């Protein structure tokens, strides 16, 4: 399986697109704070983009010669920090989305749904 520079460039552009979508969703999610169903859809799309971004990272690992030669340990040690940060960010985002939707779902008009735990996740 021969990879060209164009394929790496396209994978990088797709991953940057997913991360930009995540940034846009984070920026504009407060517009829908009174519409819990729309906010749920936005959060699901955002989490799917984060998971797809992780999948692209692992697909780019699979397409390297080091991975195909069976030296997965080298890749894991080399990119451990990036993988852990991505997994932690995805986990924290999902936790924030679930917690904030649980608080907002009962009374979306209440301004008191922020609590210290939710502020820490934000």
Q: 51-109 pLDDT, tens per residue?
A: 988 888 888 888 888 888 888 888 888 888 888 888 998 998 899 888 888 888 877 66
Distance between CA 103 and CA 100 in Å, rounded?
Answer: 5
Total count of domains within the chain: 1
3: left (phi over 0), alpha (psi -120 to 50) or beta: beta
Task: Give the confidence band of 2 by pLDDT, cuts at 50, 70, 90.
Answer: low
- Provide the pLDDT for residue 5: 66
pLDDT of residue 16 exceeding 60, the answer is yes
User: Which two structure tokens, joined as six digits, stand for 1?
Assistant: 């399986």
Domain of residue 55: give its range.
5-121
Please tell me the pTM assigned to this model. 0.75
């Amino acid at each position: 399986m021969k990879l060209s520079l164009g394929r790496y460039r396209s994978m990088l552009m797709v991953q940057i697109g997913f991360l930009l979508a995540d940034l846009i969703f984070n920026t504009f999610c407060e517009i829908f704070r009174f519409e819990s169903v729309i906010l749920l859809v936005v959060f699901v799309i955002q989490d799917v983009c984060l998971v797809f971004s992780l999948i692209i990272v692992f697909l780019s690992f699979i397409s390297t010669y080091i991975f195909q030669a069976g030296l997965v340990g080298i890749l894991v040690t080399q990119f451990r920090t990036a993988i852990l940060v991505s997994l932690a960010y995805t986990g924290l985002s999902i936790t924030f989305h679930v917690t904030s939707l649980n608080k907002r779902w009962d009374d979306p008009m209440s301004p008191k749904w922020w609590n210290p735990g939710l502020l820490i996740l934000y």
